[in-house]
A and B are shown apart, each in its own frame.
Chain A
Amino acid sequence: MSTTSLDRTTEAVSPVRPPRRDDPARPVRRHRSRGRGLTVAIGAALAVGALITAFPFIWMIASSVKPRSESLAYPPRVLPEEPTFEFFVQLFQELDFGRYLLNTIAIVLIGMVGLVLMAMAGYGFAKFDFRGREPLFFLVLVTMMIPVQVTMIPTYLILNGMKLTNTLVGIALPSLVSGFSVFLFRQFMTTIPTEMIEAARIDGASEARIFWRIIMPLSKPILAVQVVLTFIGGWNSFLWPLIIANDERLYTLSVGVALLNQQIASNPSLQMAAATLMVVPILIVFVVFQRFVVQGFALSGLK
């Protein structure tokens, strides 16, 4: 099967394109001036709300480049007068943030392996009939309900039994797969026509090949969402790295940032620089991929 034909089928199969609601002409046409006036008023109110919501981030970024005298000044000012980048330099030179950054990236990459495992499971549950499917899938759903705080102590004991405490694998393993993501994959993959899979089987394609060459390419929309969510989850993960890693060389960014909290009430700029370092990559990833995330939730059948 050629790539072009695959791409075309993606168009046909994927329910991704919801009817476009962004058609500003519609409401306006219906209740002309009153409708438009209201929309403008709502837009203004939402803009104010958006600024308030985003304010802590504006404050964070502005404060990360304030010299110490300004960050401790009273009355406080939002914008720095003499911006400096010394605190970012300090994070990498005096504190070990370069290493924390690498560890965090490693966790994110391990998470991507988990993504493949979850896609496989979603496919298995969506397209195969096998003994034990219903009870196993029920168990998958049950794990969505169980709070981390309930499982953290026994999971720590289990990992300790496996001698995986103080390893990057130990940090990544407990959250490698999530019931929710398996569920999302299954929901999406159910919509892939079974005839395609059957046809490939008749042509002699192996199961692994079918998965890699047909199912995965067709699942691009849901994969995009999951990649974003996995990136965000791995990047922000806090509790496990904190519990499992006693060794400073295994600290992730979040643990490093949390330590700054104890260290300093006196140097907010350094704290804000560290916070900025954690938040800005996520903001970039999210703003670029935001569309996919909203779509992904629409796809999951939450209607």
Chain B
Amino acid sequence: MKPRIAPYVFIGPATLLLLAFGVLPILVAGLVSLTDMNLGGLGDWSRIEFIGVDNYVELFADGAFWQAMANTGIFALIGVPSVIALSLAVALLLNRSGSAFFRALRSFYFVPAITAIVAISLVWGYLYNTQFGLFNYLLSIVGLPPVSWLSDPVAVKFSVALVAVWRGTGLNIIIFLAALQGVPREYLEAASLDGASGFRKTVSIVIPLLRFAIFFVTITTIIAWLQFFDEPFVLTKGGPIGASTSISLFLYQEGFSASQFGYASAGSVVLFVVIAAVTLVQLRARRADVDY
């Protein structure tokens, strides 16, 4: 291997795969969204016709699309603040001591994040079951009426979001804990000498120093909730009557259940634009923050 071509050999395979499955699909989605491609067009490309922006016009007139958009917004409103607040709080508390006991506790908080969503959904589906599930039994013990966790159009949003919050905190706790290791101990000791309380130190020193981690977690969490898919897919299939259909699930249903590839691609492009816009706004906000 000559030194001049060596770097290309090293980065080549991975970069090509990333281009093929990360970047190229966006372009393909853009193209396909301008056609009427469906299952017929998959086998025989001559049956695909260019239809311009018709898919987008239809999409914006589609009640199911707007319902999915609204659901995604509600999911993000419930999920993002809960995940961030919860994972930051748990990380700060876990960081209080490095004893074996505290370290053992960490694992418990991490495991939901790393276990398979399908397995998790089965378990929660069982807990939520209205006939023999545990949750309604617990409610009955304290004298509350049963809840239709997964079949009530309002309750289902919270039920599905709860599973995702439970699953989403672990990874962020890891990120916060990693960031907490970078807080210089001298700062805290100096503050202690000045008589600052533990709470005061957390608010005035630790949290400001975690700013980058909080920013990172906020961005990734928002993106994750805009892509919300697994939980409603496995728990409810988006039901009842679309009440828990997220935008990603809507795209999946249009694309793979109904095989409307062109139509679903138009939806994908819209989702991509939304995510890119949210990210850009946040990056802009971040820059302003640094200037200050």
A-contact 0/1 string along B11-36, CB 8 Å cutoff: 10111011111111111110010000
Cβ-defined partner of B122 (8 Å) among A39, A136, A177, A257: A257
Asked if A294 is at the interface of the complex by the 8 Å CB criterion, the answer is yes
Segment of B57-65, B151-159, B223-231 engaged in the interface with chain A: B223-231
Asked if A173 is at the interface of the complex by the 8 Å CB criterion, the answer is yes
The A interface, classified by DSSP as helix, strand, loop or mixed, is helix
Q: Report Cα–Cα, A128/B2, bound state, in Å.
A: 13
Known: A54-B111, A158-B28, A173-B21. A238 touches B1 (CB 8 A): no
Asked if A200 is at the interface of the complex by the 8 Å CB criterion, the answer is no
Contacts of A294 on B, CB cut-off 8 Å? 106, 174, 177-178
Asked if A109 is at the interface of the complex by the 8 Å CB criterion, the answer is no
Asked whether A154 lies within 8 Å of B15 as measured between CB atoms, the reply is no
Known: A176-B17, A283-B115. A46 touches B137 (CB 8 A): no
CB within 8 Å of B: which A180-220 residues: 182, 201, 206-208, 211
CB within 8 Å of B: which A25-48 residues: 27, 30, 35, 38-39, 42-43, 45-47
Q: Report Cα–Cα, A159/B97, bound state, in Å.
A: 50
A56 to chain B, nearest CB (A): 5
Cβ-defined partner of B114 (8 Å) among A149, A260, A286: A286
Q: Report Cα–Cα, A295/B181, bound state, in Å.
A: 10
Contacts of B229 on A, CB cut-off 8 Å? 148-149, 239
Asked whether A146 lies within 8 Å of B132 as measured between CB atoms, the reply is no
CB within 8 Å of A: which B19-77 residues: 19-29, 32, 42
Asked whether A51 lies within 8 Å of B108 as measured between CB atoms, the reply is yes
Query: For this complex, into which size category does the number of interface residues on chain B fall?
Result: 35 or more
Q: Report Cα–Cα, A298/B91, bound state, in Å.
A: 14
Q: Report Cα–Cα, A182/B13, bound state, in Å.
A: 12
Known: A57-B111, A151-B29, A286-B111. A235 touches B98 (CB 8 A): no
Contacts of A290 on B, CB cut-off 8 Å? 106-107, 110
Q: Report Cα–Cα, A145/B18, bound state, in Å.
A: 12
Number of interface residues of A (CB under 8 A): 113
Contacts of B134 on A, CB cut-off 8 Å? 59, 76, 78
Contacts of A1 on B, CB cut-off 8 Å? none
Q: Report Cα–Cα, A265/B272, bound state, in Å.
A: 36
Contacts of B223 on A, CB cut-off 8 Å? 145, 147
Asked whether B7 lies within 8 Å of A124 as measured between CB atoms, the reply is yes
Asked if B205 is at the interface of the complex by the 8 Å CB criterion, the answer is no
Asked whether A302 lies within 8 Å of B213 as measured between CB atoms, the reply is yes
Asked if B256 is at the interface of the complex by the 8 Å CB criterion, the answer is yes
B-contact 0/1 string along A209-250, CB 8 Å cutoff: 001000000000000000000001001101100010000000
Asked if A91 is at the interface of the complex by the 8 Å CB criterion, the answer is no
Asked whether B93 lies within 8 Å of A45 as measured between CB atoms, the reply is yes
Cβ-defined partner of A151 (8 Å) among B26, B119, B124, B216: B26
Offer 14 A-B interface pairs, CB within 8 angstroms, sorted by A. A18-B181, A45-B93, A53-B166, A59-B127, A59-B134, A114-B17, A173-B17, A238-B117, A243-B256, A274-B119, A279-B120, A283-B115, A297-B177, A298-B182
Tell me the B residues contacting A by CB distance below 8 Å. Answer: 1, 3, 6-11, 13-15, 17-29, 32, 42, 90, 93-99, 101-103, 105-112, 114-127, 129, 131-134, 137, 166, 174-175, 177-179, 181-182, 185, 192, 198, 212-213, 216, 223, 226-227, 229-230, 234, 247-248, 251-252, 255-256, 261, 264-265, 268-269, 271-272, 275-276, 279
Extra inter-chain contacts (16) besides given A238-B117, A303-B181, CB under 8 Å:
A24-B97, A59-B126, A136-B15, A147-B223, A148-B227, A149-B247, A154-B29, A157-B28, A158-B28, A177-B13, A179-B18, A274-B119, A275-B120, A275-B123, A279-B115, A286-B110
Tell me the A residues contacting B by CB distance below 8 Å. Answer: 18-24, 27, 30, 35, 38-39, 42-43, 45-47, 49-51, 53-54, 56-57, 59-60, 63, 71-76, 78, 114, 117-118, 120-121, 123-125, 128-130, 133, 136, 139-140, 142-143, 145-158, 160, 173-177, 179, 182, 201, 206-208, 211, 232, 235-236, 238-239, 243, 253-255, 257-258, 260-261, 265, 268, 271-272, 274-276, 278-279, 282-283, 286-287, 290, 293-295, 297-298, 300, 302-303
